[in-house]
Amino acid sequence: MTTPTIELKPSANPLSDAEREAILANPGFGRHFTDHMVTIRWTEGRGWHDGQLVPYAPIPLDPATHVLHYAQEIFEGLKAYRRPDGSVATFRPEKNALRFQASSRRLAMPELPVETFIEACDVLVQQDKAWVPAHGGEESLYLRPFMIATEVGLGVKPANEYLFLVIASPAGAYFPGGVRPVSIWASEDRVRAVPGGMGDAKTGGNYAASLLAQAEAAAKGCDQVCYLDAVEHKWVEELGGMNLYFVYGDKIVTPSLSGSILEGVTRDSLLTVARDLGYEAEEARVSIDQWQRDSENGTLTEVFACGTAAVITPVGTVKRAGAEWKQSGGEPGEVTMRLRQALLDIQRGITEDRHGWMHEL
Ligand code: COI
């Protein structure tokens, strides 16, 4: 199998500077896309081939394409940041590349070499560098690498053809209204993933499965659903699209990887950032009853959500059947905001990158 070198076929009609600047002034999340995308094909017997950077455009698909029927799809999310000197760097792309390979294995898809994943992201960011928002604000360029099964036919089996793509979208805060405490509905009946299932793979099916529970959370007036484990309906797993952290004074705790939790890159990075700042950081099982009890007795001082899109988002209110409580008085907690700043300062090149996480372009 050869590693493709990506051929550059740039757009003859990129958006004008004025149009791009208007978008960058208020990008929202996932609403606008840059001028280009990267595509690489995989065919059985041939491997990865035809890597190209092309103008961003719809991809024609036969109605019988596998992914449209059997959801053989995986994706990633990572960000490129503008640094004070104007240069651009991505955060831990290798970690995303490795998780992409793990998701491929779970969905019986071919593994993209780590260096090809990183090259594809680099080529796109390099070409669309002007789309990376200015240093100093909350914004960054969100990269969405993904892979779909493109074999045509209705037999249920691993496809013999795949398409890998990377698209990019300038991104502000994930939750409307900027960085504000969000509210959580703890669902005690809907589950996200079961032991032995696909919960630790980043695949669209897990997000499709979250939509009904997410709509129920919205009907309860909440921003996000929180899932409990599928066996005992007791242990906190994760939110609809991000991981969770609990703050006990000087100790932060995140639910341990159960096989049905997605191993978030931000989740992982925070274990290290917290220890660097002198906090204790651990992975442990946390039950929904413990969450309520420790919030009510004051030992659980803060809760926050984390993910590439969500960055670190404070949790202000929690609701479950028959109960409702506030975290840190409904305000962003001090530890939450300190960790948030420390992580963002590394990502934006303000503080030293002690762990070699930033990938400069
Ligand atoms: C990310 O944080 O990158 C995700 O894929 C989560 C999604 C809710 C946008």
Distance CA 329, CA 317 (A): 9
Report which ligand 1 atom has the smallest distance to the Cα of 202.
5
CA dist 81 to 78, 93, 143, 344, Å? 10, 12, 11, 9
CA dist 255 to 132, 140, 264, Å? 33, 28, 11
For a pocket test of ligand 1, which of 224, 308, 347 has the largest count of ligand atoms closer than 8 A to its C-beta?
308
Here the ipTM equals 0.97
The distance from CA 273 to its chain's CA centroid, rounded to whole angstroms, is 18
Q: Which residue has the tokens 């960055």?
A: 311
Token output for 170: 């300038």
Where on the phi/psi map is residue 211: left (φ > 0), alpha (ψ -120 to 50), or beta? alpha
- The percent of residues above 90 in pLDDT, for the chain, comes to 94
pTM flag (> 0.90): yes
Residue 1 has pLDDT above 80, yes or no: no
> Which tens digit of pLDDT belongs to each residue from 275-300?
999 999 999 999 999 999 999 999 99
Report which ligand 1 atom has the smallest distance to the Cα of 29.
9
Compute the average pLDDT of residues 151-178: 94
Nearest CA to ligand 1 atom 9: 309
For a pocket test of ligand 1, which of 210, 242, 262, 312 has the largest count of ligand atoms closer than 8 A to its C-beta?
242
Predicted confidence at residue 3, as pLDDT, reads: 63
Distance 174 CA to ligand 1 centre (A): 9
Distance CA 304, CA 306 (A): 7
pLDDT band at 4 (very low <50, low <70, confident <90, very high): confident
pLDDT band at 178 (very low <50, low <70, confident <90, very high): confident
Q: Assign 194 to helix, strand or coil.
A: coil
Q: How many residues does the structure list for the chain?
A: 361
Nearest CA to ligand 1 atom 5: 77
pLDDT band at 49 (very low <50, low <70, confident <90, very high): very high
Are the CB atoms for 158 and 148 separated by under 8 Å?
Answer: no
User: For residue 256, which phi and psi values (nearest 5 degrees)?
Assistant: -70, 155
pLDDT band at 176 (very low <50, low <70, confident <90, very high): confident
> Which tens digit of pLDDT belongs to each residue from 194-245?
999 999 999 999 999 999 999 999 999 999 999 999 999 999 999 988 999 9
Predicted confidence at residue 62, as pLDDT, reads: 98
Distance 76 CA to ligand 1 centre (A): 8
Are the CB atoms for 269 and 92 separated by under 8 Å?
Answer: yes
> Which tens digit of pLDDT belongs to each residue from 294-329?
999 999 999 999 999 999 999 999 999 999 999 999
Arithmetic mean of pLDDT over the chain? 96
- How many Cβ atoms from other residues are within 10 Å of residue 157's Cβ? 12
> Which tens digit of pLDDT belongs to each residue from 8-40?
999 999 999 999 999 999 999 999 999 999 999
Distance 240 CA to ligand 1 centre (A): 9
Q: How far apart are the first and last CA of the chain?
A: 26
Pocket of ligand 1 (CB under 6 A): 77, 241, 307-309
Are the CB atoms for 39 and 162 separated by under 8 Å?
Answer: no
Residue 177 has pLDDT above 80, yes or no: no
Residue 2 has pLDDT above 70, yes or no: no
